[in-house]
A = this chain, B = another copy of it.
Amino acid sequence: MYDPRYASHHLAGGQALALPAATEDFESHFYDQTLDHFNYLPESYVTFRQRYVVNSKHWGGPGAPIFAYLGAEAPLTHNFSAAGSFLIDIAPSFNALLLYIEHRYYGDSIPFGSREEVFGNSSMLGYMNSQQAIADYAEIILHIKDQFNASDSPVIVVGGSYGGMLATWFRLKYPHLAIGALASSAPILYFDDITPQDAYLNAVTKDFRDASETCYQTIKKSWAEIDEIASKPDGLSTLARKFKTCAPLKDSTSLTDQLEGLYASAAQYNAPPSYPVTQVCTAIDGPGPNNDTLGRIFAGVVAYYGKKPCYINKPTQPTETYGGWDWQTCSEMVMPMGYGNDTMFGSKGAFNLTEFSNECRKKYGVAPRPHWVTTYYGGHSIKRILKRFGSNIIFSNGLKDPYSRGGVLENISDSIHAIYTANGSHCLDLGASNVTDPEWLIAQRKEEIHIVHGWLTTYYKDLQAV
Which chain A residues have a beta carbon within 8 Å of chain B's beta carbons? 36-42, 44-45, 122-123, 125-129, 131-132, 135, 138-139, 142, 172-177, 179, 331-332, 365-367, 369, 372, 374-376, 378-392, 415, 458, 462-463, 466
8 residue pairs from A and B, CB less than 8 Å apart: A38-B129, A40-B125, A44-B126, A174-B376, A175-B390, A176-B379, A176-B382, A177-B378
Kindly provide the distance from the CB of A131 to the nearest chain B CB, expressed in whole angstroms: 5
Chain B residues positioned under 8 Å from A39 (CB to CB): 36, 38-39, 126-127, 129, 132
- Known contacts A40-B369, A45-B367, A384-B466; 19 additional CB pairs below 8 A are A37-B376, A38-B39, A39-B126, A39-B132, A40-B122, A40-B127, A40-B332, A41-B126, A42-B126, A135-B375, A135-B376, A175-B378, A176-B374, A176-B379, A176-B385, A177-B375, A384-B462, A388-B415, A389-B390
Kindly provide the distance from the CB of A454 to the nearest chain B CB, expressed in whole angstroms: 12
Chain B residues positioned under 8 Å from A179 (CB to CB): 388
Kindly provide the distance from the CB of A107 to the nearest chain B CB, expressed in whole angstroms: 21
**Smallest Cβ-Cβ distance to A142: which chain B residue:** B375
Contact A380 B176 (CB under 8 A): yes
**Smallest Cβ-Cβ distance to A466: which chain B residue:** B384
Kindly provide the distance from the CB of A429 to the nearest chain B CB, expressed in whole angstroms: 24
Chain B residues positioned under 8 Å from A331 (CB to CB): 40
Contact A176 B378 (CB under 8 A): yes
CA distance A332 to B176 in the complex (A): 19
Contact B36 A366 (CB under 8 A): no
Chain B residues positioned under 8 Å from A131 (CB to CB): 38
Contact B176 A458 (CB under 8 A): no
CA distance A160 to B386 in the complex (A): 26
**Smallest Cβ-Cβ distance to A122: which chain B residue:** B42
Kindly provide the distance from the CB of A167 to the nearest chain B CB, expressed in whole angstroms: 15
Chain B residues positioned under 8 Å from A45 (CB to CB): 366-367
